[in-house]
Amino acid sequence: GDSVTQMEGPVTLSEEAFLTINCTYTATGYPSLFWYVQYPGEGLQLLLKATKADDKGSNKGFEATYRKETTSFHLEKGSVQVSDSAVYFCALSTSAGGTSYGKLTFGQGTILTVHP
């Protein structure tokens, strides 16, 4: 079945440091890939997505590139802020035309803490 593996956390950085959170996946078919973010006490919010190989999703300074050859979708940000402290989830879904009706399969989440 489908699965997503994220780098172990938690990750602690100083403000303005470079962030990478690794994500690799296993999927049948051709999945769409997502990063969701969960701020303390809130639900999951879509951060960015990519739907085909070599697509780059980006939002709020975060980027991730869909790498089919390495089955990866690593999240990066050049300069993190204290407000980026949250839990980050990598996820995939199969196409809407498939039988899974787009259910999301999540990684285990990575806790990011950014200190001033």
Partner 1 sequence: EPEVTQTPSHQVTQMGQEVILRCVPISNHLYFYWYRQILGQKVEFLVSFYNNEISEKSEIFDDQFSVERPDGSNFTLKIRSTKLEDSAMYFCASNYLAKNIQYFGAGTRLSVL
Kindly list the residues in this chain that would bind partner 1 in the complex (CB under 8 A).
32, 36, 42-46, 49, 51, 89, 91, 93, 95-96, 99-109
Q: Is 82 helix (H, G, I), strand (E, B) or coil?
A: helix
Burial of 62 (0-12, 13-18, 19+ CB in 10 A): buried
Nearer Cβ to partner 1, position 82 or 111? 111
Nearer Cβ to partner 1, position 1 or 116? 1
The CB-of-67 to partner 1 minimum distance in angstroms stands at 20
CA-atom Rg of the chain in angstroms: 14
